[in-house]
Structure 1
Amino acid sequence: MGTPDRLVGAPDGLVGAPWSADPYSDALVTGHGPLFLRRADGWLLPLEVERWCARADAVDLAVLGRCEGAVLDVGCGPGRLVAELAARGRTALGIDVSEAAVAHTVRFGGQALRRSVFEPLPGEGRWGTALLLDGNVGIGGDPAALLRRMSQLLARGGLLIAETLPDMDVDVDERVSVRIVRAADPRSAVGPAFPWARLGSPALLRYAERAGWRPDGQWTAGGRSFVALRNRSDRRDRSRSSAAEPPNSTAVISSQRARNPSPERPVADR
């Protein structure tokens, strides 16, 4: 099934983005890995392609049950969460820099845009919930910048649900340069290196406190850890910057029917 051009027209800033290149696109097409993020020292982070390409599991469904209002899934990947929300009649939009991810989301029955979180997005300042799952808290390698951007996207009092490292008590705050690789062989690296971050719950909560977020809960399920945050900023706070300030990277990851907003129009007020 083809994806409408209006959903996948690549902004100039996305040309050559690592998550738009093989082997990530190939993995989403086939629905399986192995796939890794590889650090310069050879350290490998496995990417859970099979889980991402499947339907939402019990842990995902519990997260979606906490969502309020219209939902923005940042780094939607192949779209299991957006598709599940669409099936429930919820207003939801996924964004991802990968054309393959956006196409997969649409085939799953969700709505998605090929867009970086640091580019202009529909409904800024009016989303009820935003999701940063599947490691997407690492987008751009600058958690403070990402949290500032998420604050701009959410309504005042809006809910951010972020997934952190599995052990919620481990205090990890790591910023690294990585490449996407298909196997452990260093020669398999494809595309440029790009910045990424790995955060435990304590580190994320520190960044959130400095950025003015209010903690709204922590939990673990199925070997995964989550933090919920409430947005304290108002429209005046957001208007102080006419555009988002991305970190020094153009590369960010991954992850409805008639009731959906158009991808180019703001969502309805809550």
Structure 2
Amino acid sequence: MIGRLYERSLAGAEVEVEYADGRTAPLDATRWLAPVDGDEAMLSRCHGPTLDVGSGPGRLTVALARRGVAALGVDVTPYAVHLTRRAGGRAICRNVFEPLPGAGRWATALLADGNIGIGGDPDALLRRVRELVRPGGEVIAEVRPPGTAGRVERVRLRGRGLTGTWFTWATVSVSDLGSLAGRTGFTRVEAWKEAGRWFASLR
């Protein structure tokens, strides 16, 4: 059901995110169909094989392919994977915690658009991604601004008579990165801002 609602949003239908405390916010997945200001902050650092985790419709995966960088998108939504392939990128429909091609050999892993929150457990996600990149590899994540409270929330998607099941999603801010990196085996952290977005590199 979550996948169906996300697909609807990608197609332009009205879908909203409902939080367990009653808040709601629109989910406009169409904004990920085209380049977003600040994307260059991630793309410019990808000089070797890159794994785009939670790639959605694949704007970053496709952009890297056009630059001649080997890239693979990973997403759990079949329609998003289809859009990536149709645009000329490589993508597979799979959960990041399942076996993936090239494990331990990727130079870079991307966690764009807040995907560091996948699964609601940033520690578990970063430990998994650390297994996927090669020694000395880099994880580039989009995070929230300094001072933003990190949190784990229960959310679900709703739209046009359909309501998805509850799942957890995490918010990670720049302020959380030092302790998070230390717990998950990363020894170098760098953070920067571009086009109003905050990014971090973990090595």
TM normalised by structure 2 equals 0.93
Q: Distance in 2 between matches of 1:193 and 1:61?
A: 33
Residue 157 of structure 2: aligned partner: 180
Select the structure with the greater relative contact order (CA < 8 A; seq sep ≥ 6). 1
2:82 to 83, 91, 103: 103
**Runs of at least 4 residues of structure 1 off by over 4 A?**
none
Report the alpha carbon displacement of residue 159 of structure 1 after superposing the two structures with TM.
Answer: 0.5
SS for the counterpart of 1:140 is: helix
Query: Partner amino acid for 2:153?
Result: V
Q: Distance in 2 between matches of 1:158 and 1:73?
A: 14
The sequence identity of aligned pairs, in percent, is 45
Q: Distance in 2 between matches of 1:161 and 1:48?
A: 23
Q: Distance in 2 between matches of 1:206 and 1:37?
A: 29
Measured at CA, do residues 205 and 181 of structure 1 come closer, stay the same or move farther in structure 2, by a change above 3 Å? farther
Q: Distance in 1 between matches of 2:13 and 2:40?
A: 24
Q: Distance in 2 between matches of 1:36 and 1:170?
A: 26
Aligned residues: 203
Structure 2: give runs of 5+ residues left out of the alignment: none
Structure 1: give runs of 5+ residues left out of the alignment: 1-15, 231-270
Counterpart check, 1:213 vs 2:186:
yes
TM normalised by structure 1 equals 0.71
Residue 52 of structure 1: aligned partner: 32
Contact 2:46 2:69 in 1 (8 A): no
Q: CA RMSD, aligned part only? A: 1.7
Q: Distance in 1 between matches of 2:198 and 2:24?
A: 20
1:130 to 109, 128, 139: 109
Query: Partner amino acid for 2:195?
Result: G
Residue 226 of structure 1: aligned partner: 199
Q: Distance in 2 between matches of 1:33 and 1:221?
A: 30
Report the alpha carbon displacement of residue 34 of structure 1 after superposing the two structures with TM.
Answer: 4.3
Query: Partner amino acid for 1:73?
Result: D
Q: Distance in 2 between matches of 1:64 and 1:36?
A: 29
